Chains A and B, each alone.
Chain A
Amino acid sequence: MVKVKLWGSLRDLAEGQDVVDVDASNFKQLLDQLELRYPALSPQIKRGVSLSLDGVIYREAWFTPISEDNEIVLMPYMVGG
């Protein structure tokens, strides 16, 4: 199981939790599991999210491997100017 940290305003959409445990070995599995377990997160995930893995931010990269040793943080989809 990996721990995924959510940003604060997602807490109410994930049954009040800031950190959720997910059975996943890559980003795609992680996002699929989040949508499955917390359907209220689905609109945000479909609009786009980034994921931070041990401090490195990824915008897509479904098949990036993850494990319980990693720090994983869900973030808004990164944009720039």
Chain B
Amino acid sequence: MALDGNEKREFKVIGQRVKRPDGIDKVTGKALFGADLTAPGMLTGRILRSPHAHARIVSIDTSAALAMPGVKAVVTSADLAEPEDDFFRDIKDNVLARDKALYDGHAVAAVAATSRSAARAAIRAIKVEYELLPHVTDVDEAMKADAPVVQANRADESVPAGSSPNVTSYFEFGHGDLEAGFAKADTILERSFKTAATHQGYIEPHACLASLGHDGRGELWCCTQGQYNVRTICSEICGIEATQLRVTASEIGGGFGGKTTCFIEPVALALARKSGKPVKIVMSREEVFRASGPTVSSSSDVKIGMTKDGRITAAQAKLRYQGGAFPCGTVEFGAQAAFAAYDLDAVQTLGWNVLTNRPKEAAYRAPGAPMAIYAVESVVDELCQELGLDPLDVRLKNAARKGTLASYGPTFNDIGLVATLEAAKAHPHYGAPLGENQGRGLSCGFWFNFGGNTCVSLNINHDGTVGVVEGNPDIGGSRASISMMAAEELGIGYDKVRTVITDTNSLGFNDVTDGSRVTFAVGLATIEAARAAIREMCKRAAQIWGIDAEAVVWEDGAAKPSGPNAGDHPPMTLAEIAAVMDNTGGPIAGHHEVNADGAGVSFGVHLVDTEVDTETGATKILRYTVFQDAGKAIHPDYVEGQMQGGAVQGIGWALNEEYIYGEDGRLQNAGFLDYRVPVASDLPEIETVILEIPNPGHPYGVRGVGETSIVPPLAALSNAVSRAANVRMHELPMSPPRLLKAMSER
């Protein structure tokens, strides 16, 4: 039977709020996270980190450490391989510094010992001679001609001549005549903004257990968003053939993009190789802050022209992102996303990626977009205030829609922005009254999404149950969603399907769990794998009935004869076909491998009401509603969770979270006591409104939902606080001291 269409259908399983398969394990403590695995003879690994923001490593003397009781191995950068590719060499130089310590917390050496106390003592016994160098941690300072040079000769061919050596790449997007556009405006506003670096704030610190025998075969267990990516990186950095290194992903206590690279795994493997013993490394929270990958901090200028009736005539943004001590590729996504929500005749965005003496940035949900859209949406809101216009009507008047030439180049297909804005306008929240010192903020958000490399194997069991094997760690409920899509396609109950995430030697390559790709791409592959199994089951039923396979259809979980010559046979259920599969040709399975495209872009709108305490500068969130196009919500609980989680992380980013560096270039708040993430008591219920504008690129219409929700909160909060406090804020976080100062100066 033909099963290759993306036909619309009535769903039976999709859209239900079924029980999560990992729930009991997680609430009972049975789930195994990165630090939970042990091995016989296991050693404890510990990493020595630079106390300096920028210093040349003159020498490292490990002799005293090696002579200590219980110490089995010490490694430095010299114990790692020499990757040719810049991408891998930068990761290598980040996990163990080569000739310079580039930031406070940069790993310099590591030990493996029989106990934690022995490892700690050995770390203290390593003698490192440093030659201190001038440092820079601020992006604007780093762009000055006389700034300390973090790494020389890292600029690519895009960087204009005469730029600071710390500028590594430059981007420009846009179309139209800016000058003519601004000339048509009744009002032009030009504002500058800054956002602080923030951390993803995942609960589980990085952890791994590595084993690498003298036969060259390795085993690695770690918490990661992508075990295949870990394998690729570690293979390059440790000089191991990919097939000889089996990587298994543990349960993961949050990632949000921060676990899409390696910080400790190559070090643990190097220690395991040198000691001949399994080595476990678990980062402390302080290490996570100092030496994993926070987001970029940014500095930006935005100029927008608007007519009296709210039409944007021209728009320009200049974005400067620092991504730490290694080249990053983040500003280009901010520059592309900045004006994506708008239909503009004249638009330009310019972006610079810049080196500083800070940890190498890592992705954080929609990397680069939140800070760019924060600046743009803040200026749009201020224009609305100045011109006395309704901010939602202005967004609708200028909204991108099908046929709009996007600010980043292509022409939009079907997109859900207008529907999302209209849903916000019709919602009771938008018209609800506000009190004294209260303000309402609004922002649009956008993210691209993508599909990527994906493999799925789907196995029919003798008892009529089904096992799905996939290769992407479940960071947002994907095991439930994948099981639901398999059940939907096969026509069986959700409880008859179990999805597991396998290791790198048990399934073909899978890209990282990022880019909001898993429900889209793994779902797509699962549906195709199920269809392959259905074709085989129809063939088996046809054999049993003695008719052609083409005369069999699959309906409601059973093969049925169809057509004038098919004969009269009772349907055979999946369980009935599975029970006799040994006799009809052997095991039945479906599999699908794809590099999926067609993920479809996503838009969201956030509405927030805040109240400002004029005496303390504290901001209280009164009400928050998220509107987002999910294409098709497979499991609405998880979609709502993504929307709520993005909003909450954005609230933290907007109000309190920031990496604070001292004059000495050292991080001053490397812990959750001084780095303030929102907790439940800070928050109201985050209301959610899911819109479903189907993505034609997926059989069920799915769009990624994992990233868009962190894009609008920064501006929505800033607009709400600015209106509540009656002073326009241009810097994040709007922490109480900063807001109090702004109010005192108004």
Residues of A within 8 A of B (CB): 5, 7-11, 13, 40, 43-44, 47, 52, 54-61, 71, 73-81
Contact = CB atoms under 8 A, between A and B. Distances in A.
B212 to A, nearest CB: 30
Nearest to A6: B409
Given A76-B171, A79-B329, A81-B707, A55 B410 contact: yes
Contact of A81 (B332, B366, B595): B366
Contact of B514 (A59, A73, A79): A79
A81 B413 CA distance: 24
A9 B363 contact: no
Interface stretch (B50-58, B385-393, B432-440, B447-455): B447-455
Contacts of A57: 410, 448, 450, 597, 599, 601
15 contacts: A8-B348, A43-B157, A44-B156, A54-B411, A56-B598, A57-B601, A58-B597, A59-B597, A73-B409, A74-B409, A75-B336, A79-B333, A79-B515, A80-B366, A81-B258
Contact of B256 (A54, A58, A81): A81
Main secondary structure of the interface of B (DSSP, over half): loop
Nearest to B255: A81
Contacts of B599: 57
Nearest to B448: A78
Contact of B413 (A56, A60, A61, A73): A56
The 3 tightest CB contacts between A and B, nearest first, are A81-B257, A80-B515, A8-B172
B516 A73 contact: no
Given A76-B336, A79-B329, A80-B450, A60 B409 contact: no
Contacts of A54: 410-411, 413
A81 B258 CA distance: 7
Interface of B: 156-158, 170-174, 256-258, 260, 329, 332-333, 336, 348, 362-367, 408-413, 447-452, 514-517, 595, 597-599, 601, 697, 707
B157 A44 contact: yes
A71 B515 contact: no
Nearest to A55: B413
Contact of A8 (B157, B174, B516): B174
A58 B173 CA distance: 18
Given A9-B171, A79-B329, 12 more contacts: A11-B172, A13-B158, A44-B157, A56-B697, A57-B448, A57-B450, A58-B597, A78-B450, A79-B515, A80-B447, A80-B515, A80-B707
A78 B515 contact: yes
Nearest to B332: A76
A66 to B, nearest CB: 13
Contacts of B173: 7-8
A8 B157 CA distance: 14
A59 B453 CA distance: 10
A81 B410 contact: no
Contacts of A8: 171-174, 348
Contact of A55 (B157, B333, B363, B412): B412
B257 A80 contact: yes
B172 A73 contact: no
Contact of B158 (A9, A58, A79): A9
Contact of A52 (B156, B172, B348, B409): B409
B729 to A, nearest CB: 25
Nearest to B516: A80
Task: Choose among A8, A52, A80 the residue with the greatest number of B CB atoms under 10 Å from its CB.
Answer: A80
Contacts of A73: 409-410
B546 to A, nearest CB: 41
A9 B160 CA distance: 10
Contacts of B598: 56
Contacts of A13: 157-158
B450 A59 contact: yes
B409 A5 contact: yes
Contacts of B595: 59-61
B452 A59 contact: yes
Contacts of A79: 329, 333, 363, 367, 514-515
A10 B227 CA distance: 34
A47 B90 CA distance: 14
A75 B517 contact: no
A75 B257 CA distance: 21
Contact of A56 (B156, B333, B597): B597
Nearest to A11: B172
Nearest to B172: A8
B517 A80 contact: yes
A43 B168 CA distance: 14
B172 A9 contact: yes
Nearest to B156: A43
A1 B386 CA distance: 49
Nearest to A56: B598
B365 A75 contact: no
Contacts of A56: 413, 597-598, 697
A81 B261 CA distance: 11
Task: Choose among A59, A76, A79, A81 the residue with the greatest number of B CB atoms under 10 Å from its CB.
Answer: A81
Contacts of B174: 8
Contact of A40 (B157, B336, B412, B516): B157
Contacts of A43: 156-157
B408 A80 contact: no
Given A44-B158, A59-B597, A7 B329 contact: no
Contacts of A58: 597
A7 B172 contact: yes
B410 A71 contact: yes
B260 to A, nearest CB: 7
B630 to A, nearest CB: 16
A58 B157 CA distance: 24
A9 B517 CA distance: 28
Nearest to B414: A55
Nearest to A8: B172
